[in-house]
Structure 1
Amino acid sequence: MRSLLSMIAIESKKLSRSYVVWGMLALYLFICAIRVGEGDWSTYLGNVLFMFASVLGLVGYAALTSWTYGREYNDRTFKDLLALPVSRGKIVAGKAIASLAWCLLLTGTAFAFSLLIGMLAGISGLTGELIIYYSLRLLIIAIIQMLLCGPVILLASLSRGYLVPIAYAFTTLIVALIVGATPLGHYMPWVIPSLQYAGSEEALLPLSLGSYLIPVLTGLAGFVATWAWWRWADHK
């Protein structure tokens, strides 16, 4: 457990010094800022949530998690990492936990910034119930998006970089936009966040159990396959 915590701390420190994290945060804050003034609080926060249910989640989370794994190859530090007296499974787990924690932290920061800039813009009617309601909706969307990062980190490991997984993320975004309005969309993992966003106006968990199992299984498959790749692949 101590070695796993050490790996999480090391990866978190790497991320805190990365231009990717701070560039992502700047992008999140900018997008939240330009959406201010669009109606009342429900409209404004709904637009913020929609961005996280689509491009900010699918592409933003993918960029951060793929960089966490892919940079080891680009910076030629991969073999040095494997030489550490830590199991490869803990290395994979430490990277995953740290990167997903930062995704959640950036999302929470962006939401808090949205509340602040909305109040500065003079939008009236903000209540504690409204904050809790939209923060819970955003949390559920963020969890689904983080699960979908499983295939992303697998591609980052297989391709030994972060260009392929980012291209994959843009591809999934396009697929989600095309099939999202069709009956097939309920079975596509990348459409589930948008369906969750659209349906959560009536209930926090509006989808069927099968719809939630799809991203869970997708994420688990990606994470387990990544662990297997790092554990048994012939790294040269």
Structure 2
Amino acid sequence: MITGLVVELTKLTHAAVARVTGVLIVLGISLICSAMLLAVDTDDPQLAAKLGPLIDPGGWVGYLTVAIQVTGAAGLIGYGVVLSWLFSREFADGTITGLFAIPLSRRTLATAKLTVYLMWGLVTALALVLALILLGLAGGLGPIPPDAAPAIGRLLGLSILNLVIATPAAWAATVGRSVLAGIGTTLAIVVASQVSVIAGTGGWFPFAAPALWAISTGITVTPAQLALVAPVAALAITLTLRSWHHLQLDR
């Protein structure tokens, strides 16, 4: 297992996909929120209306609320892209045949991929929070008040939940043997989440519940609804490991 972790970690750290996606998640979301923060002092009523939480309640809480809204979709897509690449690159690069000749089982390799992905995702989530805090300070928001601490916690929690709920992309990329299959599944999840929210059933849709929980401060999503994330992720991981265990070269 340790050998598999070292190999997969080496692949990930040298992969442009992981580096670029990490930068887009961390700096992309941070810079978008910071740019909106700079536009707060405006006399344009239409622009003020679009800025939403940055105007009311404003300050750190409004800034972090906007960050949560952006992270809800952008973070999930970013995690899905990296996960899809991790589980499809062997097919794209033609190295899948070599995996049948090494002493490590394919299930162990898949477990190593998931572990490395979670490690990368946690680092990315923490970096995003740090970048938002630094840019918020640079943007003139001043010291972080106590009432902003829950928003920081929800932002970090949302990133971690997105990290977990993106796991169906791994199974899709394995079954489809293509990075597009995984990314397509991730985009379908994002679209379905938006539809469920519009329909008023987002709390019971595990892929939409984390973002709703983070945005609404937990009011519109119950613990039971949020807990549905766990069995969905567990099922996706189980199917992924099973697919790698039964992987064949004749298709």
Normalised to the residue count of structure 2, the TM-score between the two structures is 0.83
Structure 2 residue 144 is matched with structure 1 residue 117: no
Superposed displacement of residue 132, structure 1: 4.4
Match of 1:76 in 2: 94
Given that 2:30 and 2:67 are in contact with CA atoms closer than 8 Å, whether structure 1 keeps it comes out as yes
Give the letter for the 2:222 counterpart. S
- How many percent identity over aligned positions? 21
Aligned to 2:242: 228
SS at match of 2:103: coil
AA paired with 2:136?
A: G
Partner of 1:33: 31
Compute the displacement of 1:135 (Å): 3.5
d(CA) in 2 for partners of 1:34, 1:147: 24
Within 5 Å, give how 1:56-95 maps onto structure 2.
56-95=74-113
Given that 1:25 and 1:110 are in contact with CA atoms closer than 8 Å, whether structure 2 keeps it comes out as no
Deviation of 1:119 after TM superposition, in Å, equals 1.2
- Quick one: distance in 1 between partners of 2:200 and 2:135? 38
Greater shift, 157-166 or 129-138, is seen at 129-138
> 2:185 is matched with which residue?
168
Amino acid at match of 1:146: L
Q: Does 1:108 find its partner at 2:126?
A: yes
Alpha-carbon distance change, 34 to 139 in structure 1, aligned in 2, over 3 angstroms: closer
Write the distance in 2 (CA, Å) between the matches of 1:26 and 1:137. 21
- 2:7 aligned partner: 10
In structure 2, stretches of 5+ residues that fail to align are 38-53
Distance in 1, matches of 2:234 and 2:249, equals 23
How has the CA–CA distance of structure 1 residues 158 and 133 changed in structure 2, closer, same or farther, with 3 Å as cutoff?
same
Aligned-partner Cα distance in 2 for 1:46–1:208: 19
After TM superposition, give the deviation of residue 208 of structure 1 in Å.
Answer: 2.8
Matches within 5 A, 1:126-165: 126-127=144-145, 129=146, 132-165=149-182
- Cα-to-partner distance string for 1:28-59 (whole Å, 9 max, x where unaligned): 20231121124411111121122222x22221
Distance 1:64 1:155, change over 3 A: same
Given that 2:68 and 2:215 are in contact with CA atoms closer than 8 Å, whether structure 1 keeps it comes out as no
Distance 2:2 2:71 in 1: 29
Change (3 A) 1:233 1:21: closer
Q: 2:225 matched to which residue of 1?
A: 211
SS of residue in 2 equivalent to 1:111: helix
Deviations 1:82-104 (A, max 9, x none): 32211222111100010121112
Residue 234 of structure 1 aligns to a residue whose secondary structure is coil
Instruction: Check conservation: 1:154, 1:226, Cα contact below 8 A.
Output: yes
Letter in 1 for 2:187: F
TM-score computed with the length of structure 1 as normaliser: 0.88
Residues 10/233 of structure 1: CA separation in 2 closer, same or farther (3 Å cut): closer
Range moving further from structure 2, 26-35 or 158-167: 26-35
The structure with the largest alpha-carbon Rg is 2
When structure 1 is superposed on structure 2, of 118-127 and 129-138 the one drifting more is 129-138
Distance 1:102 1:184, change over 3 A: same
Query: 1:193 is paired with a residue of what secondary structure?
Result: helix
Specify the alignment match of 1:42 in structure 2. Answer: 61
| RMSD between superposed Cα atoms in Å | 2.0
* Matched residues, number: 228
Q: CA deviation at 1:122?
A: 1.5
Higher relative contact order (CA 8 A, sep 6+): 1
Q: CA deviation at 1:130?
A: 5.4
Distance 1:90 1:77 in 2: 16
Counterpart contact for 2:203–2:225, Cα < 8 Å? yes
Shift of 1:131: 6.3
